[in-house]
Amino acid sequence: MSKQWQKMRKHDQYYKQAKTHGYRSRAAYKLKQINKKFKILRHGDYVLDLGAAPGGWTQVALEIVGDRGKVIGVDLEPITKINNATFLIGDITDDGIVEPITKQIEDTKFDVIISDAAPNISGNYSIDQAKSVYLAESALNLAVQLLKPNGNLVIKVFEGEDFQQFFLKIKKAFRISKKFSPKASRARSSEIYVIGLDYQSKN
């Protein structure tokens, strides 16, 4: 971590707020802002959090869904325990991840799927953007299998030449589709959040 990055983080309002309020990452405020605008999450929802490490989005989801809800997080890396959350180690691009996820929810599906997953940054934007879209496509593929009819979806993706094609798939699958950049996203970031509301299941 560079000294410049450390200095920027130290003066970042969302980083400071996350520290103050016990969130594991400043990204928690991105989900808060998304939910305030679009009402993605509701009390009692079953939520699948993809690319969940270190757990900031999981914390926010748990606050909203309450005791009647359930939050399951998936990541390649182990995640330190959060009370009332279930974490699985797995690759969201691997079709084999579906089975261990479904074992956690028995015969139901998820009301909401959220993904803040991002690729390891190489420094080559074309490559990184393509990897981001691949992760987003994988999240959408899981949504097709695991999301309830009329469910909601949030996926982070980097903007670029492949973005519009991916967004068209969201538009076809959901009654309402939106693109949104929360205030908590850094000004120089190329990330954007794709919002899908009211999943139109064909099953």
Catalytic residues: 156
Q: Which amino acid is at 6?
A: Q
The answer to whether the CB of 48 falls within 8 A of the CB of 41 is no
The answer to whether the CB of 134 falls within 8 A of the CB of 161 is no
Residue 21: Cβ within 10 Å count: 10
CB proximity list for 98: less than 8 A, separation 6 or greater: 142, 145, 146
The answer to whether the CB of 173 falls within 8 A of the CB of 202 is no
Query: 27 phi and psi, to 5 degrees?
Result: -65, -20
